Amino acid sequence: MARRPTRALLLGALFLLAVGLVAGWSLSAWALWQTEVPDGLDPLTVPDSEILSPDLLDEARSYETFLRVLFLVSLVVVIVALALYARFGGRFVRESAAGRIGTGMLLGMLGLAFLWIVDIPFGLAALWWERRHDVSELDYGTWLAENWLALGGEFLFVCLALLVVMGLAGPLRDWWWIPGGAVFVALALLFTFVSPYLLPAQVDAPPDVVAETRSLAEEQDVGEIDVRVADVDSYESPNAAAAGLGPTRRIVVWDTLLESFGDDEVRVVLAHEVGHHSREHLWKSVAWYALFAFPGAFLIAWTTRRRGGMREPTAVPLALLVFVALQTVALPAQNAITRNLEAEADWVALETTEDPDAARDLFAGFSEQGLIDPSPPTWAYALMETHPAIAERIAMAEAWELRAGR
Amino acid sequence: MAAVEPHPIRLVVEDDLARSRLTVFFRLLLAIPHLIWITLWTIAMVLIAIVNWFAVLLTGRLPGGLHDFTAAYVRYTTHLNAYLYLAANPYPGFLGTPGSYPIDARIEEPERQSRWKTAFRIFLALPALLLMTTLVGAGGGGGGGGGGGGTTGDTDFGSEAAWGAGGTASAVFVAAILAWFAILARGYAPVGLRDLAAYGLRYAAQTFGYVLLLTDRYPNVDPREPPATQPTPEKPVRLRVEDDLRRSRLTVFFRLLLAIPHFVWLFLWGIAVFLALIVGWFATLATGRLPDALHRFFSAYLRYEIHVFAFVLLVANPFPGFTGTPGSYPVDVEIGPREPQNRWKTLFRLFLAIPAALLNSALSGPLYVAAFLGWFASLALARMPESLRNLGAYVLRYSAQFYAYLYLLTDSYPYSGPAEYVEPEVALEPVPTWPDAPPEPSF
């Protein structure tokens, strides 16, 4: 008789806990979503024909369509390949003389190797397409070599992740995801902290770029920020990045950007990157990561229970499938989050430089050089775009101009 | 060990290890007449090799006269290389007469050869030539020269001919340099270095025989084939090989990348080992023994190192563990219990280890080439060729003994000979005895 009320009480407590967690998650997500971009900018649109010439627009659309189809097909193939690996990958246990964790690492690495092999034709096709449209000058051998080395980096990453997960799953069984989530967040913090040193080889920035960055940082009231120039191959697209936390905060500008754009456009880029630091976007990114890491880890722990949980190496192929599937499902949300942060950095850059013409020229230049479709279809926008569409970015510059009464 | 049909080109070793210090000191200069003579003979051999090729292609067999001429050339290069590399003592004759030298190439009578193998001989020989370059040096060492392949015989010992691929010194060349000092000091050649040279010379003779169309049997690089007929020195560090030669194609293809976490762990663990070594050195110097905890720590690291390199270099198949647990891997190091160590040897350990370090480095050339060739073979066959695996195991055994010496696990110097004693299953042919010399192993 006494058992039923206790059980009901327990269920009730669990329900309340779940509601509390969902509410806490939603509240945190809402708080992180808030930006300085004013409401009411959305209706403004810029016709694509004002951004690119008709011929270039056609070429950009045809160019991106092929890449989008390739992306979709490769996504399906990757999932199918991982499903097969989840089904049969456990056989590779016999190739290991390592213990539980070492064997798990081997299975994790082989899973990535399998994906690498499956993805090679798509990568080569994409490179062929980029070379055909003069977007890339990278040769196939270099691409393969770089991809091979990148796979080595992925192996290291997966080994570290499995060391954490399987190490915790040993004593904690299916509850590893709670400390595991915390460890992954700590690792993400560490990774963000050291990320400036992981970017391409860097040299001192020209004095005018340093002075400009200092002045923009003062205007955004963010303190001193180091700026460096990444010495990259001439075929790499113009780019820039904000990296680091606290004392390692840094802006890295690709030398191809400095060579391709004028001083005013470069100033917009610098203001955008300083904006990422001044609005704490790197901290926010880690916080967003934390919001996804715990539920993700929980789902992996839950789905692998039938294979003995993450303490068993044979669960690793399934965990890999679940991880990639979760990433795919979360992709639209993750892209929306990064687009939200990028839009705020664009707005802050406009507020700081007060130069919408330079912003317009910059974004149109990006579109022209990289054959970027200014207004991608909604599905591609949701699945593939980490930045606002070019048309949206230019529309924001025009909206700022209107609001400023110019 | 399964009985294998003997290769038609074998090396007979009747050397008694005794050396004349005077001739050793001036050996290079004394060899000058031979170096001139072999240059001329090599030029002739290049032309004869072309004739050989057409003759075998047309008739399926090397005619007797051509066979004798070519066999004499191969024997002569073997005699001369043995002299230059200090694998034998007496001054060799100029004609390559059979049985005239304590290290001699036994070459069987002409036999039928496959025309296909003959047609593509020079391409088929490339892996063997590559391996020979790292083991003995370009052109098979001091003398010789791939006639049929059109390679010229650079006959200068110590010149580029004695250097392996990529500019590193060949293993036999380094063994000869070390033997030169040892002989001048002691008056006889260390058996391990002599056996290493003999092993290299046997492989070079078989490679020349293959390239010059004496036989269509591929050179055999297996250091355990045939087994040694006398026990090798008992060592406290031994390699146990229980590998079944099976290889997983997928892990072979990605082997280097799969080893990345192991390299990271080796590096981190290595830092701790380095610091502990300093403590261990003082402790061994003071007490005459390595402390038990450090002995276990260094042993585990050494085992782990060998497991990882056996995996990377395809000497074994499974992914190794991270702890260096004894008996956990098919290629494992057996390390004896800790023993009292000579304090003088401990005091000067770093300097004493230099010769072994040089040889260990030189042996890495054949090891890497064997792994490179084994990579292709394993991908194609899902199986590592036994001879290449055994070559890898030999080098790993030497490495294990070297590092055990360096890590103060033992004060027993590494043994460089390729063959460990195995009870022979097939009675070896009786060989003519070199005057006043005891019987020695046949390679």
- Tell me the per-residue pLDDT of A331-367, one tens digit each, with 9 for 90 and over: 999 999 999 999 999 999 999 999 999 999 999 999 9
The answer, yes or no, to whether residue B233 has pLDDT greater than 80, is no
**Number of helices and strands in chain B (H, E):** 16, 4
User: What residue has token string 């290449």?
Assistant: B388
CA nearest neighbour of A167 among A185, A184, A142, A146: A184
CA nearest neighbour of B113 among B182, B78, B177, B63: B63
The answer, yes or no, to whether residue A276 has pLDDT greater than 60, is yes
User: What one-letter code names the amino acid at B124?
Assistant: L
The answer, yes or no, to whether residue A405 has pLDDT greater than 80, is no
- Does the beta carbon of B261 lie under 8 angstroms from any beta carbon of chain A? yes
Chain B interface, best mutation among A88, A94, A103, A106, by max B CB count within 10 A: A106
pLDDT score at B420: 66
- Read off the pLDDT of residues B375-419 as tens digits, 9 standing for 90 and up: 999 999 999 999 999 999 999 999 999 999 999 999 999 999 887
CA nearest neighbour of A129 among A69, A79, A177: A69
Q: Which residue of B has its CA nearest to A91?
A: B248
Rounded CA-CA distance B289/B338 in Å is: 7
Q: What confidence tier does B225 reach under pLDDT thresholds 50, 70, 90?
A: confident
Chain-chain contact of A102 with B258 (C-beta, under 8 angstroms): no
Q: Which residue of A has its CA nearest to B307?
A: A97
pLDDT score at A223: 87
Q: Which stretch, A2-16, A28-42, B32-46, has highest mean pLDDT? A: B32-46
pLDDT score at B231: 62
Measure the N-to-C terminal CA separation of chain A; round to a whole number of Å: 77
Q: Which residue of B has its CA nearest to A160?
A: B261
pLDDT score at A301: 96
A50-59, B257-266, B314-323: which has the minimum mean pLDDT?
A50-59
- Does the beta carbon of B320 lie under 8 angstroms from any beta carbon of chain A? yes
User: What one-letter code names the amino acid at B255?
Assistant: R
Rounded CA-CA distance A68/A126 in Å is: 10
- Does the beta carbon of A118 lie under 8 angstroms from any beta carbon of chain B? no
A396-400, B49-53, B361-365, B438-442: which has the minimum mean pLDDT?
B438-442
Q: Cβ contacts (< 8 Å) between B264 and chain A: which residues? A: 156
Rounded CA-CA distance A296/A227 in Å is: 35
pLDDT score at B80: 95
Cα distances (angstroms) measured from residue A124 to each of A61, A109, A120, A127, B250: 20, 22, 6, 5, 21
Chain A interface, best mutation among B260, B304, B331, by max A CB count within 10 A: B260
Task: State both tokens at A141.
Answer: 């051998």
pLDDT score at A44: 61
pLDDT score at B38: 93
- When comparing pLDDT for A61 and B421, which is higher? A61
- Read off the pLDDT of residues B1-41 as tens digits, 9 standing for 90 and up: 445 578 999 999 988 899 999 889 988 888 898 999 999 99
Q: Cβ contacts (< 8 Å) between A113 and chain B: which residues? A: 250, 253-254, 257-258
CA dihedral A215, A216, A222, A226 (to 10 degrees): -80
* Mean predicted confidence (pLDDT) in B223-233: 69
A142-156, A264-278, B390-404: which has the minimum mean pLDDT?
A142-156
Q: What confidence tier does A241 reach under pLDDT thresholds 50, 70, 90?
A: very high
pLDDT score at A267: 95
- Does the beta carbon of B328 lie under 8 angstroms from any beta carbon of chain A? yes
Q: Exposure pattern of B410-425 as b/e (b: 16+ CB <10 Å)? A: bbbbbbbbbbbeeeee
- Does the beta carbon of B257 lie under 8 angstroms from any beta carbon of chain A? yes
Chain-chain contact of B322 with A113 (C-beta, under 8 angstroms): no
Measure the N-to-C terminal CA separation of chain B; round to a whole number of Å: 16
Q: What confidence tier does B229 reach under pLDDT thresholds 50, 70, 90?
A: low
Q: Which residue of A has its CA nearest to B246?
A: A95
Chain-chain contact of A98 with B321 (C-beta, under 8 angstroms): yes
- Does the beta carbon of A1 lie under 8 angstroms from any beta carbon of chain B? no
pLDDT score at B143: 46
The answer, yes or no, to whether residue B431 has pLDDT greater than 70, is no
* Mean predicted confidence (pLDDT) in B148-155: 35
* Mean predicted confidence (pLDDT) in A177-200: 92
Chain-chain contact of B319 with A96 (C-beta, under 8 angstroms): yes
Bridge partners of B107?
B9
Mean pLDDT of chain B: 87
CA nearest neighbour of B12 among B370, B433, B366: B433
* Mean predicted confidence (pLDDT) in A68-84: 95
Local structure of B334: helix, strand or coil: strand
Cα distances (angstroms) measured from residue A239 to each of A23, A230, A250, A271, B274: 38, 9, 14, 14, 43
- When comparing pLDDT for B153 and A17, which is higher? A17
Q: How many residues does chain A have?
A: 406
CA nearest neighbour of A232 among A252, A211, A212: A252
pLDDT score at B230: 61
Q: How many CB atoms lie within 10 A of CB B387?
A: 21
How many A/B residue pairs have CB atoms within 8 Å? 66
- Read off the pLDDT of residues B108-142 as tens digits, 9 standing for 90 and up: 999 999 999 999 999 999 999 999 999 998 766 54
* Mean predicted confidence (pLDDT) in A41-66: 85
pLDDT score at B59: 94
The answer, yes or no, to whether residue B77 has pLDDT greater than 90, is yes
Q: What confidence tier does B421 reach under pLDDT thresholds 50, 70, 90?
A: low
The answer, yes or no, to whether residue B153 has pLDDT greater than 50, is no
* Mean predicted confidence (pLDDT) in A171-181: 94
